Amino acid sequence: MSTGDKASHAIRRARGRVEETLGKALGNERMTARGRTDRKAGDLKQAVEKVKDAFRG
């Protein structure tokens, strides 16, 4: 996994975590759901890249 990919996935997870927390604090269900989706997408992409790396090396 390239460094750029790692950073991109980490940023997406962090942004999702912040958005989810902010949505909960404001009582905004849509923001909470969007944040949760971004966080989980970042986790999934990172997991896929780890599997790819395992098969390459």
Any domain includes 57: no
pTM for this prediction: 0.79
DSSP letter, residue 41: H
Distances (CA, A) of 24 to 20, 35, 37: 6, 10, 14
Task: Give residue for tokens 């790692």.
Answer: 6
Any domain includes 32: yes
Any domain includes 56: no
The structural domain count of the chain equals: 1
Any domain includes 37: yes
Any domain includes 44: yes
Write out the chain's pLDDT in tens, 57 residues.
577 878 888 899 999 999 999 999 999 999 999 999 999 999 999 898 889 888 986
Tell me the residue range of the domain where 30 lies: 3-51
